[in-house]
Chains A and B, each alone.
Chain A
Amino acid sequence: MSQGRCRHGAPVLDVVAGNGLINRRALLGSGMTIAGGLAAGTVTGAAAESLADAPWSLAVGEIMPAVQTPSSFEKDVTRALSNPNGEFRTSHARTPHQRLGGTVTPNRLHFSINHGGIPNIDPAEHKLVIHGMVRRPLEFTLESLSRYPLVTRMAFVECAGNSAPMFAKEPLQTTVQMLHGLVSNAEWTGVPLSTLLDEAGIDPTAKWLVAEGADAQFLDRSVPVKKAYDDALIAIYQNGEHLMPGNGYPMRLLLPGYQGNMNVKYLRRIKVIDQPAYSYFETKNYSQILPGGKTWRFHFLMEVKSFITHPSFGQSIKQPGLYAISGLAYSGTGRIAKVMVSADGGKSWGETALQGPIHDKAFTRFVMPWRWDGQPAILQSRAYDDGGNVQPLRAEFVALRGEASRPVTTPLTFPNQHYNSITSWAVDSTGAIKHVYA
């Protein structure tokens, strides 16, 4: 509860939950002054030095490039590669969420998985065919799709195997990137799939589509017609530019909130059919074994989830004082309604501020001021969506979905799929951060 307000009405730094969580409205508005409360454990910096002009201010800068790249000081902000030498197998590139802010994943850092390499597709030669249970098969090109009135939306895309290392019985000591880097978020622009299906004259009794890519594996997945008419897009732009090659250039299927593998890249064919195809990927990789040995098929939905990116494993807190706890939340069923954060391992929770606008099936960033007193703390986040779905606590999740029976020695493996429980970061008294289960 707020005990007072500063002159312009912003709340003072009231503690709202255990271990120093502060009212989410603090520090977000104009006119806020850091009042009271902060005195304990404030910065103990060195004595002030007199300011001098820096060398980059004393000479003309560099020539402007045609295509911008990040500062040379950011060169270690990269995707983590599972297979940097390109052996004949699936390759993953994970997004460095612990080095990013906001909600839009820059295209060069969007996660990517390719099962048969990245095809180098000439957009003038690429074709998309819609056929099967339709009145009239049709062929489209990037040029013809570009002539439609395009629609734009935000959407996360998440691999069903994202966060899979967290099925391990013991928490792996690794970064947000290695645990949760197989999800990214972008603004996608394209043509609603329903528009194209209507033009082809879909048979009203058809229940499924097979969507197929032009990659070396002709990767294909079965998609319910219901989803196609809900919110599927044929996406041709990603954050304002044509798709990245690793994300499906020149066109991909976008199924907001459904497992990444179904968002077929390099899309070349949609066949309307009356039964699912049981393609390799829906048969094997993206189907889960449950405790007791039953198996799940057609899970599809990426459920409500969140994780703290700042602070997180690999970062350290230098001294007691004020920090912002910040992270990402998203749900495959709708909008994020609320994200709660705990600094005491789940004993008490405080409601975070959500950075708007809050989009359907897209990243929402949450933020919460936190005053670290130098004592051990366990940071957690828990997301709630507007459909009433709540991110499960780890004990709840493990009871339903189980844990790996064998030791997990690397975050590059996938003991199971569709992990959406809570991530916990333990801060010790030196400010070092570990991954724990709590």
Chain B
Amino acid sequence: MSMRRILAAPVLAFTLVAGAAGAQDSGLGKPLTESDIKQWDIAVLPDGSNLPPGSGTPTQGAKIFAEKCSACHGDAAKGGIAPYYPALIGGQPLTNGIDTVKTIANYYAYPTTIFDYVRRAMPYNMPRSLGDDEVYALTAYLLALNKLIGDGDAMDAKTLPQVKMPNRDNFIMPYPDRL
């Protein structure tokens, strides 16, 4: 019976600590606020949620592209060494074959993906070196090159999600029950 008494003390202490932090709680996670996470919270969703303030035009984007992107992606985004540095303009119809090169114009479902990926990953050798205005400008430039917006259209948190991508409604899901 003395054994039980020895064990009882730490169990009681644990219950009290856990009770303070929540019933199912280990107390091992450190609580944060969303404002602590703001700098990390970069994922932009197709409905435009989480797009930052700022804007940019195709003309501004062309200048940035020539300086920071064309070394790999070629002049006017016509492509570098295939398949590693793909063209960012044009694209064949997907009916050409199951190995058709996927591009912004023939494949992407949402324009927000361009903004999100450029901001998180490009330029390859200097990720996160672009400001949000520059990312908007590059996104606008790529959309305009692909005739998906006009040459004078500025992209920002309101206009970008409204751009309709040609392949958006062509997707089907093999396993909808898994979602």
Contacts and interface: CB of A to CB of B under 8 A. Distances in A.
A199 interface: yes
B94 interface: yes
A88 B72 contact: yes
A6 interface: no
A201 B36 CA distance: 18
Interface in B10-55: 22, 24-26, 28-34, 36-37, 40-47
Interface in A191-248: 196, 198-201, 207, 210, 212, 216-220, 224, 226-227
B121 A280 contact: yes
A138 B32 contact: yes
Interface string A267-287: 011010101111110011101
A403 interface: yes
Nearest to A136: B31
Interface residues of A, number: 72
B99 A131 contact: no
Give the dominant DSSP class at B's interface.
Answer: loop
B116 interface: yes
A104 interface: no
Given A137-B32, A140-B29, A224-B179, A277 B43 contact: yes
Contact of A275 (B46, B95, B120, B167): B46
A301 B175 contact: yes
B109 A283 contact: yes
Contacts of B173: 296-298
B121 A218 contact: yes
Contact of B172 (A115, A280, A297, A416): A297
A277 B45 CA distance: 5
A89 interface: yes
A72 interface: no
A148 interface: yes
B25 A199 contact: yes
A300 interface: yes
Contact of B170 (A89, A280, A295, A406): A295
Contacts of A116: 121, 124, 127
B98 A288 contact: yes
B179 to A, nearest CB: 5
Contacts of A292: 95
Contacts of A226: 178-179
B140 to A, nearest CB: 18
Contacts of A8: none
A11 interface: no
Contacts of B107: 283-284, 287, 295
B113 A289 contact: no
B179 A198 contact: no
A244 B116 CA distance: 28
Nearest to B84: A89
A269 B178 contact: no
Contacts of B100: 289, 405
A413 interface: yes
A398 to B, nearest CB: 10
B102 interface: yes
B89 to A, nearest CB: 15
Interface string A388-431: 00000000000001111110000001011000000000000000
B26 to A, nearest CB: 6
A219 B36 CA distance: 21
A415 B116 CA distance: 25
B29 A283 contact: no
A294 B175 contact: no
Contacts of A218: 42, 120-121, 127
Contacts of B172: 294-297
Contact of A89 (B26, B43, B85, B127): B85
A147 B99 contact: no
A409 B107 CA distance: 24
Nearest to B99: A415
Given A116-B127, A277-B44, A287 B34 contact: no
A84 interface: no
Given A88-B72, A283-B113, A129 B40 contact: yes
A413 B83 contact: yes
A420 B111 CA distance: 32
Contacts of A220: 43, 120
A269 to B, nearest CB: 6
Nearest to B112: A278
A291 B95 CA distance: 7
Given A116-B124, A196-B29, A271-B41, A224 B98 contact: no
Q: Which 7 A-B pairs have the closest CB atoms?
A: A405-B97, A138-B29, A415-B99, A280-B117, A293-B94, A217-B121, A293-B95
7 contacts: A138-B31, A138-B32, A148-B26, A271-B43, A284-B107, A289-B100, A301-B174
Interface of B: 22, 24-26, 28-34, 36-37, 40-47, 72, 83-85, 93-100, 102, 107-110, 112-113, 116-117, 120-121, 124-125, 127, 167, 170-175, 178-179
